[in-house]
Structure 1
Amino acid sequence: MKIDRRAVTGLVLSGGLARRMGGVDKGLQPFGGQPLALRAAQRLQPQVAAVAINANRHLDAYAAWGWPVWPDADDRFAGPLAGVLAGLRSAATPWLACVPCDGPHFPPDLVARLAEETGEADVVMPVTLDPATGQAQPQPVFSLLRCALRDDLAAWLDDGGRKFETWARRHRCVMLPFDQPGDATAFVNVNTPEELARWAQT
């Protein structure tokens, strides 16, 4: 069963500490002439009914772009799942599609392709193939999730859980192959200043 984009809120995850980038607010770093998180939000907007941004610093800067800003519930910086929880709790739709701010080349049809495979799933997660090794690589921070998972995720985080894929696999999780031309590099994350500079040229 395919779900309509009107049933999906898109969330850009920009709430981390970006330690490998020197602790700067990664979502505000320039990429191709605009901040990373702004680029991600604009790329996501045509794919969903509404867009929001998860951020924990410089909230006024993010809010100036015109989308809602949903911080984590506390100041633990508990990783991307804490941002996902903020989205699951705040979205007015039954589904949430999340993308990280540091994945500037995610597919422009990401949500549509994930939505084709919902069925009875609670989570639909892209899986790519490493071009060097041929190994499958789940891409959990680009997932489509039912917002009804909010209470379960809150309990998981309270118990100290942090790994996205581990939590997702506790539910009805579809691992969807993304094997079209270009998919192998579409989910690249920029985690260092050197990677930011290199991928900005592609």
Structure 2
Amino acid sequence: MKISAVILAGGRARRMGGVDKGLQLFRGQPLVWHCYQRLKAQVAQVAVNANRNQERYAQFGLPVFADELADFQGPLSGILTGLKQAESDFVLFVPCDCPFLPLNLLEKLQQPILRSLQHYQSDSQSAGENSPVLLTYASDGEREHPTFCLVSTLLVEKLTTYLQSGERRMLQFMRENETIAVDFSDQKDAFQNFNTLADLESKEW
């Protein structure tokens, strides 16, 4: 199973005053760079989804792509484009504002998928009844974090149809496609995100 990764940095960052969130500095480095440092040991190919400042993101030496859909239509728009341009079977997506993301994110998110594939392949008689899992996402036990997700490229058509219908809700799409929430309750702090410039400047970090 070939897996690539995409850092989602295509939002408007309204709560940060409209700045490009992934390029904001935390501990002297852009948020997107912190995310890449946590991802690079987990997956060989990492790209950035950015709708602004693509040249600046490209300076990190990573492939950069914008949403196919115009007007900042949310993370699912970036996910759709990421799936369409992927050369892998699955794509691991993470938001750009979580510099402490789990170092075992991929390992845990892929476990239900691998188990379902093994069962699907070994039980051909019930294969039609037990389809393999194509989508998983993280939960910290209290909150769900759907932008931390592992998604099969086989879902491109379904996601295209969903967005064309005018829907943008991530969890709704996931639940319609038999997703599995993976427990990261032992790493709640890993999902700490930064929504304001004051958050980034806090000395608590």
- Do the two structures share a fold, i.e. TM-score over 0.5? yes
Who is 1:159 aligned against?
165
- Counterpart-to-counterpart distance in 2, 1:76 and 1:160: 13
- Counterpart-to-counterpart distance in 2, 1:80 and 1:98: 10
Of 133, 140, 143, the match for 1:121: 133
Shift of 1:49: 2.7
Who is 1:76 aligned against?
71
Q: Does 1:62 align with 2:68?
A: no
Shift of 1:201: 4.3
Q: Does 1:178 align with 2:189?
A: no
Q: Aligned residues, how many?
A: 188
- Counterpart-to-counterpart distance in 2, 1:42 and 1:90: 23
Stretches (4+) displaced over 2 A: none
User: Which deviates the most, 93-102 or 120-129?
Assistant: 120-129
Shift of 1:42: 2.2
Q: Does 1:15 align with 2:21?
A: no
Supply the AA of the counterpart residue of 1:72: D
- Counterpart-to-counterpart distance in 1, 2:106 and 2:84: 20
2:166 aligned counterpart, secondary structure: coil
**RMSD over aligned Cα, in angstroms?**
1.3
Pairing 1:15-94 to 2, within 5 Å after superposition:
15-94=10-89
TM-score (structure 2 length as normaliser): 0.88
2:147 aligned counterpart, secondary structure: helix
Supply the AA of the counterpart residue of 1:186: A
List runs of 5+ in structure 1 lacking aligned partners: 130-135
Shift of 1:26: 0.5
**1:178-199 CA deviation, whole Å, 9 max, x = no partner?**
122xx1121122111122223x
- Counterpart-to-counterpart distance in 2, 1:139 and 1:116: 17
1:139 aligned counterpart, secondary structure: strand
- Counterpart-to-counterpart distance in 2, 1:201 and 1:47: 28
Supply the AA of the counterpart residue of 2:166: G
**1:137-180 CA deviation, whole Å, 9 max, x = no partner?**
11100011101111211111111111111101111211111122
Q: Does 1:190 align with 2:194?
A: yes
Q: Percent identity, please.
A: 38
Shift of 1:104: 1.0
- Counterpart-to-counterpart distance in 2, 1:104 and 1:174: 24
Indicate if the aligned counterparts of 1:10 and 1:45 stay in contact, CA closer than 8 A: no
